[in-house]
Chains A and B, each alone.
Chain A
């Protein structure tokens, strides 16, 4: 028997394209706007969300038959907050440098609607293994958009990728800057992320007409 059935594979692959959490489900937009000025921050956030969503989905899925429906949102919130805090504490004790890098993301992860969204929409109704795959798939889809947005914002806004100068030095005017090219300061600020996400949605919908709703 294959480790992943066809349905399992689609749990991972669907969120990458036709059921992308950011561009289709419109979940996790806030953090996509906030932290994509640099590619490095995008990657770190994507990995952190993958971890929390994968684990959280499993925990919620295991508890799905005993959670009282009236307080299920609070229970979900407690699970994700506790998970993030435990991870943060363990990192602080054993990988202090890493925890410093991640600490600014902790608050963003707890309040990330993609996490509550997947708990609510998937983990409450499915088994742990499939919930885990759903968590990984959705965080990959989320991370993919973050990386694309981060790539364009850092390249066009700062002329660098992962902090390395790609287009030359804007101050001493070398490389592309010698021809009169300037960094676009607008790409640095959060509204630029909205525009890049908008363009991604536009491209995606024009390639897959089935995604367009009838009016």
Chain B
């Protein structure tokens, strides 16, 4: 067979596109319901993780609660899901499905975003959990931060789409995330966020009043992305947080 003819090449390309396209479409639509469900469970796990509902053990890695129980646990611990739109605040049980990327894009266009906020309760303690979304070195980073009514961080969760394995990808490791607990997002009365700092001479993160955590070596830009993401989210929510705050 002469495979060098132009006609053959064009026909081959056409068939190839149709075949590969249909295979991909078939796989994607066949699996989409399962994938969507997995993503929903993941979001619930992440939110619960930030407020300390997880299966972490001392010195172990990140361990979420199981996907088999996550829906029950989510409705047990998350007492309220709010959607803040400008001055109006409404209850919405599907607030956790709101896509922060889209809301931030709306905000940047000057429109009013719909911002989800979760109120959790564990051992008679109230947690205010806000979502975050930003960019790292290569791609998106996101997370959740759980605050108490004094605006002190009770727990965080970070994740990323494509940060460098071994470097920036480690923002989802406990030795990085655990450092944020106990830091305040406020400096006096200003919402300053928490910055990921190099050379703050506090590798064990014992100083909790400096709004800084120790950076990851070799992951400067991812770290800066985390700082910027926290600050941006805190700014988005600050009007509502001011109402909640008890000094």
Please report A residues at the B interface, Cβ cutoff 8 Å.
34-38, 40-41, 44-45, 65-71, 74-75, 78, 82, 85-86, 89-90, 92-94, 96, 100, 103-105, 107, 154, 157, 171, 185, 188-189
Q: Is B169's CB within 8 Å of the partner chain A?
A: yes
Q: Is the CB of A104 within 8 A of B163?
A: yes
Determine the distance from Cα of A90 to Cα of B31 in the docked complex, in whole angstroms. 7
Q: Is the CB of B4 within 8 A of A68?
A: yes
Determine the distance from Cα of A92 to Cα of B41 in the docked complex, in whole angstroms. 12
Q: Is the CB of A35 within 8 A of B164?
A: yes
Q: Is the CB of B23 within 8 A of A93?
A: no
A34, A70, A92, A103: the one contacting B31 at CB < 8 Å is: A92
Q: Is the CB of A94 within 8 A of B34?
A: yes
Q: How far, in Å, is A189 (CB) from chain B's closest CB?
A: 5
A contact residues around B42 at 8 Å (CB) = 96
Q: How far, in Å, is B85 (CB) from chain A's closest CB?
A: 31
B8, B31, B159, B218: the one contacting A89 at CB < 8 Å is: B31
Stretch in contact with the other chain, from B12-20, B116-124, B181-189: B12-20
Q: Is the CB of B204 within 8 A of A65?
A: no
Determine the distance from Cα of A90 to Cα of B27 in the docked complex, in whole angstroms. 8
A-B residue pairs in contact (CB < 8 Å), sample of 14: A35-B165, A35-B166, A37-B165, A37-B218, A66-B1, A67-B3, A75-B16, A78-B16, A90-B31, A92-B31, A96-B38, A104-B161, A105-B165, A171-B204
Determine the distance from Cα of A185 to Cα of B218 in the docked complex, in whole angstroms. 8
A contact residues around B163 at 8 Å (CB) = 104
Please report B residues at the A interface, Cβ cutoff 8 Å.
1, 3-4, 8-9, 12-13, 16, 20, 23-24, 27-28, 31, 34-35, 38, 41-42, 67, 159-167, 169, 203-204, 217-218
Q: A37-B167, A104-B165, A188-B218 are in contact. Are A69 and B38 (CB under 8 A)?
A: no
B contact residues around A100 at 8 Å (CB) = 159
Q: Is the CB of A89 within 8 A of B166?
A: no
Q: Is the CB of A69 within 8 A of B4?
A: yes
B contact residues around A93 at 8 Å (CB) = 31, 34-35, 38
Q: How far, in Å, is B181 (CB) from chain A's closest CB?
A: 18
Q: How far, in Å, is B16 (CB) from chain A's closest CB?
A: 6
A contact residues around B34 at 8 Å (CB) = 93-94
Determine the distance from Cα of A67 to Cα of B2 in the docked complex, in whole angstroms. 10
Determine the distance from Cα of A11 to Cα of B4 in the docked complex, in whole angstroms. 30
